[in-house]
């Protein structure tokens, strides 16, 4: 008896669990495995802090603790949510990607029928995904270099810089008015973060983020270095301390950047300047900063909030802007 569409979707969801980590590394490339979960930013909303969005590698269940409506029971529903498509379309995409043959074209009766042992091996899928990932990173790096070299100096009056109360330092600005934040790895420009007039941010598609960072000031062996999340926070720290800063761009990248820089520079005095995501379950900013500091034996600092400061504030730039507003109000 032919399987119904619902049964085929369920079968894809079940088989996809065998390749869950490979699929999630492609769908949520800024994430990372933590125990039996894949923890990442929710790319379906403006989520800048990994930690509240997680996917079980064992069951495929997923949940966003910051959005009570964002949850599901398997990888098909996850891809449907991320891509904004029907579950049938998501299941067919996974079916094609893994070469399962569960969904066959009309009239293609000779197409191979799915058998559990006929799926590509995990090692083969992993190698294919890794090759695709590296190719995408190389393409994005070339695009980043073109953008960077054709852009001019950033305008200090750019709305994002004015709102954050920070200097442009060595940022550049595209002809379309986007600020370009450069990300480096192994001394090479590998990606840029584009920030538009409304403060919306995006990296180049497929570009490397993990282990890459945006520098402010000159890093030297034996001296102090702050490592933080976002560029605005880094610019605030650099402006107040005049010390070099490495901006990891997200909480999940703090430890990777700290480990790379500690290995590269002798006797580097690293200080992790963490975000304090007080309103987010699990406080991912504080949790990730403490973990990064522990990983490299670094100091860790967080903003000290005045009693009357709003609980919506979470980082050092928020704190600096709040103090500035208080002074201007008096």
Residue 98 within a domain? yes
Residue 115 within a domain? yes
**Predicted confidence pLDDT, tens digits, the chain (330 residues):** 456 888 889 888 888 888 888 888 888 887 887 778 888 888 877 666 666 788 998 899 998 877 777 889 999 999 988 888 889 989 988 888 777 778 764 333 333 344 444 455 656 766 777 788 788 889 989 999 999 999 999 999 999 999 999 999 999 999 999 999 999 999 999 999 999 999 988 888 888 888 999 999 998 888 999 999 999 999 999 999 999 999 999 888 899 999 999 999 888 999 999 999 998 878 888 999 999 999 999 999 999 999 999 999 999 999 999 999 999 887
Same domain? 328 vs 215: yes
Same domain? 113 vs 223: no
Among 251, 230, 186, smallest CA distance to 34 is for: 251
Residue 254 within a domain? yes
Same domain? 220 vs 104: no
> What are the φ and ψ backbone dihedral angles of 237, each rounded to 5 degrees?
-60, -45
Same domain? 229 vs 114: no
- The three-state secondary structure class of 278 is coil
Number of folded domains that form the chain: 2
The whole-angstrom separation of Cα 59 and Cα 3 is 23
CATH number of the domain within which 106 lies? 3.90.580.10
CATH number of the domain within which 231 lies? 3.40.1360.10
pLDDT of residue 84: 82
Same domain? 221 vs 105: no
Final residue before a domain boundary, out of 120, 152, 170? 120
Strand order of the sheet with strand 32-34? 32-34, 37-40, 53-56, 62-64, 71-72
Residue 201 within a domain? no
The whole-angstrom separation of Cα 140 and Cα 159 is 26
Residues forming a β-bridge with 87: none
* Cβ atoms of residues 239 and 167 within 8 Å: yes
* Cβ atoms of residues 260 and 304 within 8 Å: no
Among 313, 312, 286, 310, smallest CA distance to 300 is for: 286
Residue 297 within a domain? yes
The whole-angstrom separation of Cα 10 and Cα 135 is 32
The whole-angstrom separation of Cα 6 and Cα 88 is 8
**Domain span at residue 214?**
210-330
Final residue before a domain boundary, out of 95, 120, 145? 120
Residue 241 within a domain? yes
Residue 108 within a domain? yes
Final residue before a domain boundary, out of 68, 96, 120? 120
Q: Is 290 exposed, middle or buried (0-12, 13-18, 19+ CB in 10 A)?
A: middle
Residue 151 within a domain? no
Same domain? 215 vs 327: yes
């Amino acid at each position: 008896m032919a399987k119904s569409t619902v049964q085929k979707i369920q079968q894809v969801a079940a088989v996809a669990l065998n390749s869950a980590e490979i699929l999630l590394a492609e769908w949520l490339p800024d994430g990372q495995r933590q125990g039996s979960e894949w923890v990442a930013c929710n790319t379906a909303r403006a989520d800048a802090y990994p930690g509240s969005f997680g996917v079980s590698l064992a069951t495929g269940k997923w949940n966003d603790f910051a959005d009570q409506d964002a949850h599901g029971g398997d990888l098909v529903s996850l891809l449907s949510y991320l891509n904004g498509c029907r579950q049938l379309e998501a299941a067919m995409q996974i079916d094609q990607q893994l070469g399962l043959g569960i969904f066959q074209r009309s009239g293609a009766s000779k197409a191979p029928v799915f058998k559990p042992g006929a799926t590509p091996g995990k090692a083969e899928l992993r190698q294919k995904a890794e090759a695709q990932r590296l190719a995408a990173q190389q393409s994005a790096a070339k695009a980043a270099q073109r953008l960077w070299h054709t852009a001019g100096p950033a305008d200090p009056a750019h709305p994002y810089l004015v709102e954050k109360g920070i200097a442009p330092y060595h940022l550049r600005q595209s002809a379309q008015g986007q600020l370009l934040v450069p990300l480096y790895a192994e001394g090479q420009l590998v990606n840029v973060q584009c920030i538009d007039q409304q403060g919306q941010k995006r990296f180049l598609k497929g570009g490397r983020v993990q282990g890459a960072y945006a520098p402010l000031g000159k890093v030297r062996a034996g001296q102090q270095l702050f490592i933080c999340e976002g560029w605005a926070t880094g610019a605030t720290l650099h402006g107040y301390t005049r010390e070099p800063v490495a901006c990891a761009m997200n909480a999940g990248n703090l430890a990777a950047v700290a480990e790379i820089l500690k290995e590269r520079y002798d006797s580097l005095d690293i200080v992790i300047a963490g975000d304090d995501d007080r309103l987010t379950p699990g406080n991912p900013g504080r949790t990730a900063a403490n973990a990064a500091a522990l990983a490299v034996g670094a100091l860790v600092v967080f903003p000290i909030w005045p009693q009357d400061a709003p609980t919506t504030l979470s980082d050092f730039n928020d704190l600096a802007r709040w103090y500035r507003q208080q002074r201007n109000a008096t």
